[in-house]
Chains A and B, each alone.
Chain A
Amino acid sequence: EDQVTQSPEALRLQEGESSSLNCSYTVSGLRGLFWYRQDPGKGPEFLFTLYSAGEEKEKERLKATLTKKESFLHITAPKPEDSATYLCAVQARTSGGSYIPTFGRGTSLIVHP
């Protein structure tokens, strides 16, 4: 059963057209929710960590928010260079008892000039 579900799978925007990406999770006892950006052919790049409902973090045109069941990555007035896959991960318990981030499948964002 998926613990982390991202939607939409793909999103196309015009430059300047603001939108939001969604990450819903089902783990109990959240210990951290992470957002990453991944460019084609590269490893993911860390953006944010959120710990508790109501928390928000911002970086340039990106703002991440967290509720008890989901997180949103809001993109304000995006530019073509914001095109990437955005990954969400939640810190969940492994079968061995450790808490390791489990990744969603990502949202592929394309911003057209």
Chain B
Amino acid sequence: DVKVTQSSRYLVKRTGEKVFLECVQDMDHENMFWYRQDPGLGLRLIYFSYDVKMKEKGDIPEGYSVSREKKERFSLILESASTNQTSMYLCASSPLDMGYGYTFGSGTRLTVV
């Protein structure tokens, strides 16, 4: 069964900490994405990557960075966590033809205190 695996299900961090969210896919997909999901706001794209070492900003990249050193792994970094970054973070991957849809991970619920 194909999978997108996010390293943590729940995470609690303090304001100002540097936070790493890891995502690994086993489908050899070219595209990988990071979204955050908040009640009433839906899914919002933070960053995506269409190839190793390539990245593009989404709709809300401020306060975040990403790293894709290997095809199967896409990391989201919160440089200095703030309380307004408390959210559900969802990683997804897709083949080059996005018509096949995304495969999402189960999400990481991050709380910044």
Q: Interface residues, chain A, CB within 8 Å of chain B?
A: 32, 34, 36, 41-47, 49, 51, 87, 89, 91, 94-96, 98-106
Contact = CB atoms under 8 A, between A and B. Distances in A.
Chain B facing A: main interface SS: strand
Interface of B: 4, 33, 35, 40-45, 48, 50, 56-59, 90, 92, 98-107
A43 B41 contact: no
Count chain B CB atoms within 10 A of each CB in A41, A44, A46, A99 and give the residue with the most: A44
A49 B94 CA distance: 13
B104 A44 contact: yes
Contacts of B58: 94, 100
Contacts of A99: 98
Given A32-B99, A103-B42, A43 B105 contact: yes
Contacts of B106: 41-43
Closest 3 CB pairs of A and B: A43-B104, A46-B101, A105-B42
